[in-house]
């Protein structure tokens, strides 16, 4: 995200629409962003004169004191740690300059509120939120199979899309007051006076912000840093709730707030809500562009650091291969509605089998007595149900894409895909059911009866919801059963 924004700012300032292909050309583009600094101070990690900017380090005006000593880049980074016996703190004592570069980028462009004076970025909805990335990326191939996003192709796609759509994006974001020309793009260039905030009308739409006062220095031959607090956030944008036109960030349609992952992950429920519900705008870089082949499979990438109140809950990411038809559909209203309808059906089918699994396992805890099932018995089923939900999540989108494309081939094909999904769910739920049996508490005297009745209840509940999974027995089979 940092590199894409930086490249787009440089190309716009230089009036270039095509990405450079040589190092010398890129150097010229980047220096074009800082012509008032012929000695390249804004691109240096260490600048002894703190009245001048350094890389992602704003100038320090007179009277501002940076009190906190930081000896390693992992201590500067945004990860919140509280116990040194688990995840060790300050261990990067032999760090390279690039480690400090990466720590500065993650801190200054992704940090949240960290207590009094430790402000967070503007591109998130509150200090305990997160800055999400939701976008499309070209896929690399290995042995004829799609692997991970192709980094350079992804970079070219996103930068080219930003540059080519700038005028349209400025019109869309005009109500936020961004400067069309000459706005501050590299926020670390401006001195940070205490209490001083920068309004959006002074910023370029693609601004790269800094949220903390930090300066790097050499000490005893080692890189280290000093940091300080500020009484106010660097940017005056709190009222926008993180909805600042970030090309990777979904924004709620009615509430006008940026997306917050919180304690969730990018599972099927979250992605269905983001992509198909219509409650969230699809970010610019998650829409199909002229740089995407209409028939080629691309990756839908979703990533964010899940944050809570003074804690981190993990870096959550997901990469989904998406065909050209689905990619186009995500960007179009009517097609999105069709995808949402199919997704809701699949979620309901998952819910039906989940209920069958829950009730059957609770029956074991009740010793096989249906009339004895109590509320607390359902608590014993939570681990199994979570396991089934993860199993369903693994296959959810593969089957959703297949069902979406099956619509063009007629009702029979659509029914076939629906049955295929239900069968996969039943198979996976059956495995989860059998694995969970030994862990469900039950008096040993009643366990054989309880497990037999639970299996029957599970199968009958699934049969009732999905009769197509259980073909009717032949006449011979019925006679054999009677005999």
Domain boundaries, the chain: 2-331, 334-482
Range scoring the smallest mean pLDDT among 92-101, 132-141, 161-170: 92-101
Q: Is the Cα dihedral 77, 80, 82, 84 positive or negative?
A: negative
Nearest Cα to Cα of residue 343 among 402, 276, 428 = 276
Average pLDDT over the chain, rounded to an integer: 90
> With 0-12 CB in 10 A as exposed, 13-18 as middle and 19+ as buried, what is 284?
buried
Q: Using CA atoms, how far apart are residues 408 and 403, in angstroms rounded to an integer?
A: 9
Measured CA to CA in angstroms, residue 314 lies from 81, 158, 264 at distances of 12, 26, 10
Query: Percentage of the chain with pLDDT > 70?
Result: 93
**Do residues 159 and 11 touch, judged by C-beta distance below 8 A?**
yes
328-352 pLDDT tens trace = 888 777 888 899 999 999 999 999 9
**Do residues 133 and 302 touch, judged by C-beta distance below 8 A?**
yes
Local structure of residue 193 (DSSP, 8 states): -
What is the pLDDT at residue 99?
94
Local structure of residue 118 (DSSP, 8 states): -
**Do residues 138 and 154 touch, judged by C-beta distance below 8 A?**
yes
Query: Percentage of the chain with pLDDT > 90?
Result: 74
Tokens of 415: 């029914």
pLDDT class for 88, splitting at 50, 70, 90?
A: low
What is the pLDDT at residue 267?
95
> What average pLDDT does this structure show over 16-39?
96
Place of tokens 């000896």: 71
204-219 pLDDT tens trace = 999 999 999 999 999 9
Q: Using CA atoms, how far apart are residues 169 and 11, in angstroms rounded to an integer?
A: 16
Q: Using CA atoms, how far apart are residues 197 and 303, in angstroms rounded to an integer?
A: 29
Place of tokens 């790269």: 208
Task: Sort strands 203-208 and 184-186 into parallel, antiparallel or unpaired.
Answer: parallel
**201 pLDDT more than 80:** yes
> With 0-12 CB in 10 A as exposed, 13-18 as middle and 19+ as buried, what is 352?
middle
391-441 pLDDT tens trace = 999 999 999 999 999 988 889 999 999 999 999 999 999 999 999 999 999
289-333 pLDDT tens trace = 888 888 888 999 999 998 877 677 888 999 999 988 888 888 777
């Amino acid at each position: 995200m940092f590199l894409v924004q930086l490249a787009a700012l440089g190309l716009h300032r230089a009036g270039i629409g095509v990405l450079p292909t040589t190092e010398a050309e890129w150097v010229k583009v980047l220096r074009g962003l800082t012509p008032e600094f012929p000695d390249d101070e804004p691109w240096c990690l260490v600048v002894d004169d703190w009245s001048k900017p350094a890389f992602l380090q704003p100038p320090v005006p007179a009277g501002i004191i940076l009190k906190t000593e930081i000896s390693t880049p992992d201590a500067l980074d945004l990860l919140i740690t509280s116990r040194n016996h688990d995840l060790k703190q300050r261990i990067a004592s032999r760090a390279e300059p690039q480690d400090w570069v990466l720590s500065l980028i993650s801190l200054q462009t992704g940090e949240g509120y960290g207590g009094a004076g430790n402000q967070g970025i503007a591109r998130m909805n509150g200090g305990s939120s997160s800055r999400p990335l939701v976008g499309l990326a070209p896929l690399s191939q290995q042995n004829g199979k799609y692997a991970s996003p192709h980094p350079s192709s992804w970079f070219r796609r996103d930068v080219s899309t930003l540059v080519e759509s700038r005028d349209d994006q400025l019109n869309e974001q005009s109500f936020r007051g961004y400067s069309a020309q000459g706005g501050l793009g590299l926020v670390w260039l401006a001195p940070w006076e205490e209490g001083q905030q920068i309004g959006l009308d002074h910023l370029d739409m693609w601004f790269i912000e800094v949220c903390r006062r930090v300066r790097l220095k050499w000490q005893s031959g080692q890189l280290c840093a000093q940091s300080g607090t500020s009484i106010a956030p660097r940017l005056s944008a709190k009222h926008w709730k993180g909805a600042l036109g970030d090309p990777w960030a979904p924004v709620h349609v009615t509430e006008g707030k940026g997306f917050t992952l919180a304690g969730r992950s990018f599972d099927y429920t979250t992605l269905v809500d983001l992509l198909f519900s219509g409650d969230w705008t699809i970010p610019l870089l998650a829409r199909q562009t002229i740089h995407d082949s209409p028939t080629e499979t691309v990756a839908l990438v979703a990533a964010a650091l899940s944050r809570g109140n003074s804690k981190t809950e993990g870096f959550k990411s997901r990469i989904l291969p998406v065909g050209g038809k689905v990619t186009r559909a995500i960007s179009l209203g009517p097609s999105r509605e069709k995808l949402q309808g199919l997704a809701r059906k699949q979620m309901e089918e998952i819910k039906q089998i989940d209920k069958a699994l829950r009730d059957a396992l609770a029956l074991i805890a009740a010793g096989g007595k249906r009339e004895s099932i109590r509320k607390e018995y359902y608590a014993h089923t939570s681990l199994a149900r979570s396991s089934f939900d993860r199993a369903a999540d693994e296959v959810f989108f593969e089957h959703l894409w297949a069902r979406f494309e099956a619509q063009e081939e007629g009702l029979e094909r659509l029914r076939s895909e629906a049955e295929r999904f239900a069968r996969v769910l039943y198979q996976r739920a059956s495995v989860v059911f059998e694995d969970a049996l030994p862990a469900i508490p039950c008096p040993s005297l009643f366990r054989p009866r309880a497990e037999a009745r639970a299996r029957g209840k599970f199968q009958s509940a699934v049969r009732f919801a999905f009769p197509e999974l259980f073909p009717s027995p032949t006449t011979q089979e019925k006679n054999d059963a009677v005999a």
